[in-house]
Structure 1
Amino acid sequence: MDQANGANPPPYNFQDYGQNNYTGMSYQVGKGNIAVVSAPGPYNNTVHPEVPTSTAVDFTPPPDYSYGQEDSVFSDGNIRRGFIRKVYLILMLQLLMTVGIICAFLYWPTLKIWTLSNHWFSYTMMAVVMVLVVALSCCDNLRRQVPLNFIALGLFTVAEGLMLGAVAVYFDAEAVLWAMSATALVSLALSLFAFQSKWDFTMLNGCLWVLLWTLFSFCLLCAILRTQYAYIVYACLGTLVFSLYLVFDTQLIVGGKHRKYEVSPEEYVFAALNLYLDIVTLFLLLLQLIGLCH
């Protein structure tokens, strides 16, 4: 290529000139009226640059999102609805099985008489229930691996039903039925409230833990006093505390934008277990309250 003004540009030396602003140059291409004009700008020695520039692509990963900015696992409505249906289907089967076992203890005279004459059965079922609760709560593989989680949950439900049946034989059948009805009504009302309310009970985990230990201390006091009024107060306070726990566990399952904490979709067995224990404890407390006031 020939320069338009007939002169070649002088060789550039970085040590002599440093980095200067280049004002641009016009070049004639061929014999036509076509010219190439270089844009003005900083002129560097690109042949032997003193400071090499890197042309490699930057593969640095983006920064991690901080906690609180991540999208919720339940942000997909289909995942949330499927998880809720699975949890409440398991819970319904558990409750139906439990009610059937309790009714067998109430209306089968032979079984009722045998239970009243064998006190070891109640304590054995209590021990089995405690072992299964600890196993399901502490072992992640047990409650996540199918079908082992359903087998363990089924064994726990049968053991819990047998324990409740052994307790129910000490009360009148009418009182037990009233306690069942009251438990169903309270559980339904609290579940609907937990679904609709924008109050976030998942942030009250510490407060509920303190109330639970306070209730346990009051239980020890009732064991010492052994008065009917103390038992009634204990049953009322226990009903209040576990009603709050039922709302708390329901909101953990529901999740959503108004909840700070939520349960993983893989923990449907653990979620059903929590709700079942809340409802069973409410039933025992209401049964005690109705039996004392009967």
Structure 2
Amino acid sequence: MVRTSHHKTPRAKKSHPTVTYWRAYEDSSSSYESGFPTGDHEFFTTFSWDDQKVRRVFIRKVYTILLIQLLVTLGVVALFTFCDPVKDYVQANPGWYWASYAVFFATYLTLACCSGPRRHFPWNLILLTIFTLSMAYLTGMLSSYYNTTSVLLCLSITALVCLSVTVFSFQTKFDFTSCQGVLFVLLMTLFFSGLILAILLPFQYVPWLHAVYAVLGAGVFTLFLAFDTQLLMGSRRHSLSPEEYIFGALNIYLDIIYIFTFFLQLFGTNRE
């Protein structure tokens, strides 16, 4: 969540809401007892995860939204990477970056912390659209500072990693949702590592330390991708309510974007 990278983009990428990100899981996941979650009893009186149709519809809805988000983000990244006038404009006007970051932060906190807006149509889709556009702008601007070949390489690696992790998470018997404590420790390690790098970066850039941080970040959010994927399945220790399709898509989308940006920091080559 906290990112520190040695590139020409503004420093706002280094202060993502780590603790809020974790607390949102606590509020939106449910523990199973006798086949039903401990939260949302009233809703699950009629529908349960034992109903395969409910589960399939929920998962299909999440991945449909996620696919649209990723296509929008990919389009923005391609525009900022291949179109030189657009690339020059966004790099010359960092004010749009800060505005996008403010919008991203506000919409993220609203969707992650407030169950009302993210569950009620059409406000949930409106907020998610605004969030996706702002995050796409941030990702596109970051990509514009890297060599085109590096961006394409990192996109390919991210796609392969995310596809593999998703398939593995659906097939494996290992329950990643029971490892919340481990994930929290790793997230805090990443958070404080980012703070240290943010403090050191203005004085001295340490390439090997930055590389270690990027590897750690990519690893942590790969685990979070497996965690978030299994939250959708309904047959694990923790599970999302079928009402939380916006929250499910939001989490997986962020995991994929973070994995891409950490790969970009690790393998990317800055433009000359």
Which TM-score band applies after superposition, normalised by the shorter structure? 0.7 to 0.9
Aligned with 2:208 (options 206, 214, 229): 229
- CA drift at 1:247: 0.3
- CA drift at 1:70: 4.1
Q: Does 1:120 align with 2:95?
A: yes
| Deviation readout 1:3-54 (Å, 9 max, x if unpaired) | xxxxxxxxxxxxxxxxxxxxxxxxxxxxxxxxxxxxxxxxxxxxxxxxxxxx
Question: What is the TM-score when the length of structure 1 is the normalising length?
Answer: 0.74
- Give the residue type in structure 2 aligned to 1:69: S
| Cross-structure match for 1:34 | none
> In structure 1, how many angstroms separate the alpha carbons of the residues matched to 2:84 and 2:146?
14
Secondary structure of residue in 1 paired with 2:33: coil
> In structure 2, how many angstroms separate the alpha carbons of the residues matched to 1:244 and 1:292?
26
Q: 5 Å matches for 1:1-294? A: 68-71=33-36, 73-223=48-198, 224=200, 226-256=205-235, 259-291=236-268
| Deviation readout 1:116-170 (Å, 9 max, x if unpaired) | 1112222221121111100111121211111111111111111111111111111
Query: Is the CA contact 2:147–2:270 (under 8 Å) kept in the aligned structure 1?
Result: no
| Deviation readout 1:180-206 (Å, 9 max, x if unpaired) | 111111000000010001101101112
Whichever of the two has the greater Rg, that structure is 1
Question: What is the TM-score when the length of structure 2 is the normalising length?
Answer: 0.80
Aligned residues: 226
> In structure 1, how many angstroms separate the alpha carbons of the residues matched to 2:73 and 2:267?
20
Query: Is the CA contact 1:254–1:262 (under 8 Å) kept in the aligned structure 2?
Result: yes
- CA drift at 1:293: 10
Q: Point out the structure with the larger helix share.
A: 2
- CA drift at 1:221: 2.4
> In structure 2, how many angstroms separate the alpha carbons of the residues matched to 1:171 and 1:206?
35
Structure 2: unaligned runs, 5 residues or longer: 1-31, 38-47
Relative contact order higher in (CA < 8 Å, ≥ 6 apart): 2
- CA drift at 1:226: 2.2
Over the aligned positions, Cα root-mean-square deviation in angstroms equals: 1.6
Structure 1: unaligned runs, 5 residues or longer: 1-66
> In structure 1, how many angstroms separate the alpha carbons of the residues matched to 2:177 and 2:73?
28
